[in-house]
Amino acid sequence: MNESTPQHDYRGLFRLDGRTALVIGAGSGIGRESALALAAHGAEVICADRDRGAAERTAQLGDGLTARELDVLDQTAVRQAATELPVDVLVFTAATNVRKRLLDYSSEEFERVVALNLRSAFELIRAFGPGMAERGRGSMIGFTSIRAISVEPGQGVYAATKAGLLQLMRTAAAELGPQGVRCNVIAPGVVETPLTTQIRNVPDWYDAYAAKSALGRWAKPEELAGAVVYLASDASSFVTGSQLLVDGGWTAIDGRYTPPA
């Protein structure tokens, strides 16, 4: 590099000052830690959750946080939120799982998992994408899972929705990229959240999952927050259509396990 060439100032690479973020599922777990981390880096964060009380409790944990009740299964409410909130960063973490083998699944259970894990993401992209495209900037961040890559018995429908979300966001990245909108997903491994309470309460299951990652343990929700800040910030300005694995090396060593499902 020529000595006369100005050097880039990297000190503010992860700062989010002047940006507004909407975190859906901010009432607990990964969503809550994501909201806190974004606010800590300067963003004004709207903590959204279908449980308004949970959203308010998160908003009380720091500066720059406000609460909003929002059910992502309510298409009208989602569109209204998109109209009222010109956000720069959209993070959505809401998900559910019914741990059953495929032959034991009911149609109602299938529809319930698909509705929250995949259809709601489709509606969020449709609702918030136009505003971001019009403003010429924006970062959408969804959450897939190691199950978008590797499957175990009892995880088929959940895995299908997470693989579908990955492809949905890749397509959004391709379609919205020319307007300056980036779309990425984060794929956690096993994380100690309310969603995993059922299996964490079974010692053999908990220990088996811990042993399947390279780090030999489960993740804490706050260990996903750094990936969210990265994808929200200018540190990832040329990253779109990607799936960022935050799995403790689970997929690197092919951590398979057949649970007692």
Which residues are identified as catalytic?
Answer: 158
CB 165 within 8 A of CB 147: no
Burial 14-40 (b: 16+ CB within 10 A, else e): bebeebbbbbbbbbbbbbbbbbbbbbe
Amino acid identity of residue 71, one-letter, is D
Q: Which residue has the tokens 């951590």?
A: 255
Amino acid identity of residue 176, one-letter, is L
CB atoms within 10 A of CB 230: 18
Please give the Cα distance from 200 to 194 (Å, whole number).
Answer: 10
Please give the Cα distance from 27 to 24 (Å, whole number).
Answer: 8
Total length of the chain:
261
Q: Which residues pair with 191 in a beta bridge?
A: 219
Burial of 74 (0-12, 13-18, 19+ CB in 10 A): middle
CB atoms within 10 A of CB 109: 15
Please give the Cα distance from 208 to 159 (Å, whole number).
Answer: 19
Tokens of 209: 């999952």
